[in-house]
């Protein structure tokens, strides 16, 4: 081409096209190469996370394998590793989590709906928004200290299931609020406008459309919050959870009227991560087997909860017909 230029003639059209084509092809090749490189890096990054988790999980399962039997779930803690079980721990976890669920969900969803739908948009609501997002990143031990002062001593709730449930409820409240707001924002404006157009009140719009259609997202947030709460140890120890407790809280259901009993709320308790922590710090290696088994169980429960969230979200999305 340089030769042609020096002769003063313009290059033939076809040569230029050909030249451009090679250049374009080269460019495409180059871009494809970087695509492959980026995809490999991405895959590597994904594998790094997944394989680490998988290795940890398999290791826990292999270490804890001998203890995966029904007895492990029906025995109380013991000084003998072989007969020590999780009964008081899993019952405690279930009870605490139910309080967490019953408090964090209504309050969190309510707060999010108010912030999204009702609150005036001004500096004050901006301030609240920043604070809520910040609260999601506060270390859990801080919630434990707050709960120790507020629930245990301030309100006199004691070192009880209700205190632990409320503490974890506070802990996951920001997660529930943020994810509910995200879900609500995902509802198209057209839906609200259509509802208003046929004469719906604000409450009808919110309850029949906004919240209904964002159930999937809300549920995901709730379950992610609950999965975080079930593995928390620090705030629960701070408020004074027990380690050895060889009896169950009083049953919430009684055989005589009024059939409901709320004594369990004020009962002492222990939870799964505390048992695991205790067994792990023991000198006797047989206890480390119990700890590994408990770790695997906590991971499985968390996976199940997340799986349920994904399944329910899918079901809800499928049923939404706009």
Partner 1 sequence: MNTVLKKSMSIAALVAMTFASSHVLAADKIIAIDGSSTVYPITEAMAEEFQKVSKVKVTVGESGTGSGFKKFCRGETDISDASRPIAQKEIDACKEAGVQYIELPIAFDALTVVVNAKNDWVKSLSVAELNSMWKPGSSVKNWKQVNPAYPDKALALYGPGTASGTFDYFTEAINGKAKASRTDFTPSEDDNVLVQGVSGNAGGLAYFGYAYYEANKDKLRAIPIIAKAGAPAVMPSPESVKNASYQPLARPLFIYVNATAAAFKPEVKAFVNFYLENAPKLVAEVKYVPLPTEDYVAVKEHFKAMKPGTGFGGKNEVGVKIKDLINRIK
Q: Which of 218, 265, 272, 301 binds partner 1 (CB under 8 A)?
A: 218
Burial class (CB within 10 angstroms; exposed 0-12, middle 13-18, buried 19+) of 292:
buried
Q: String of b and e for 9-37 (b: at least 16 CB within 10 Å)?
A: eeeeeeeeeeeeeeeeeeeeeeeeeeeee
CB of 159 to partner 1, least distance (A): 8
- Residue span binding partner 1 (CB under 8 A) among the ranges 56-64, 119-127, 134-142, 273-281: 273-281
Q: Does 4 bind partner 1 (CB under 8 A)?
A: no
Round to whole Å and give the CA distance between 276 and 92.
14
List Cα–Cα distances, 311 to 202, 217, 305, 307, in angstroms: 31, 12, 10, 6
Least Cα distance to 227 among 314, 304, 315 occurs for 304
CB of 25 to partner 1, least distance (A): 53
299 three-class SS: helix
Round to whole Å and give the CA distance between 120 and 185.
16
Q: DSSP code of 198? A: T
Number of residues that bind partner 1 (CB under 8 A): 51
CB of 268 to partner 1, least distance (A): 5
- What are the φ/ψ torsions at residue 247 (nearest 5 degrees)? -150, 160
DSSP-assigned beta bridge partners for residue 253:
260
CB of 201 to partner 1, least distance (A): 14
Q: Does 306 bind partner 1 (CB under 8 A)?
A: no
Q: Which of 240, 266, 299, 302 binds partner 1 (CB under 8 A)?
A: 240
Q: Does 82 bind partner 1 (CB under 8 A)?
A: no
List Cα–Cα distances, 206 to 129, 176, 220, 260, in angstroms: 20, 18, 19, 34
Q: Which of 250, 304, 311, 317 binds partner 1 (CB under 8 A)?
A: 250
Q: Which of 16, 69, 98, 134 binds partner 1 (CB under 8 A)?
A: 98
User: Interface mask (CB under 8 A) for partner 1, residues 172-211, using x and -?
Assistant: -----------------------------------xx--x
Round to whole Å and give the CA distance between 222 and 237.
23
Q: Does 311 bind partner 1 (CB under 8 A)?
A: no
* For partner 1, the closer CB: 23 or 102: 102
Q: Which of 282, 299, 302, 306 binds partner 1 (CB under 8 A)?
A: 282
Residues that bind partner 1 (CB under 8 A): 76-79, 91, 94-95, 97-98, 101-102, 105, 109, 159, 207-208, 211-212, 215, 218-219, 222, 237, 240-254, 261, 263, 268, 278, 280-285, 288, 312, 316
């Amino acid at each position: 081409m340089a030769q042609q230029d020096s002769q003063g003639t313009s290059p033939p059209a076809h040569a230029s096209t050909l030249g451009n084509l090679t250049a374009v092809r080269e460019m495409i090749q180059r871009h494809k190469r970087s695509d492959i490189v980026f995809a490999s890096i991405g895959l590597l990054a994904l594998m790094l996370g997944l394989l680490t988790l998988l290795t940890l999980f398999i290791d826990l399962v292999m270490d804890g394998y001998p203890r995966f039997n029904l007895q492990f779930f029906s025995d109380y803690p013991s000084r003998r590793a072989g007969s020590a079980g999780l009964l008081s721990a899993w019952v405690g976890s279930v009870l605490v989590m139910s309080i967490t669920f019953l408090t964090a969900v209504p309050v969190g969803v309510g707060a999010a709906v108010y912030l999204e739908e009702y609150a005036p948009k001004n500096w004050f609501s901006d301030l609240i928004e920043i604070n809520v997002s910040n609260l999601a990143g506060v270390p859990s031990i801080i919630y434990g200290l707050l709960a120790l002062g507020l629930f245990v001593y301030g309100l006199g709730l004691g070192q009880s299931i209700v205190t632990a449930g409320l503490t974890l409820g506070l802990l996951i409240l920001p997660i529930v609020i943020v994810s509910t707001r995200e879900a609500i924002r995902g509802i198209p404006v057209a839906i609200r406008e259509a509802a208003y157009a046929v004469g719906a009140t604000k409450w009808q719009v919110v309850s029949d459309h906004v919240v209904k259609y964002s159930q999937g997202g809300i549920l995901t947030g709730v379950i992610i919050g609950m999965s975080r709460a079930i593995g928390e140890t620090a705030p629960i120890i701070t408020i004074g959870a027990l380690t050895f407790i060889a009896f169950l809280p009083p049953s919430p259901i009684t055989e005589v009227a009024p059939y409901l009993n709320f004594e369990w709320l004020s009962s002492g308790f222990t939870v799964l991560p505390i048992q695991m922590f205790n067994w792990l710090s023991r000198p006797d290696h047989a206890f480390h087997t119990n700890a590994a088994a408990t770790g695997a169980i906590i991971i499985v429960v968390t996976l199940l909860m997340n799986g349920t969230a994904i399944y329910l979200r899918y079901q809800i999305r499928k049923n939404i017909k706009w």
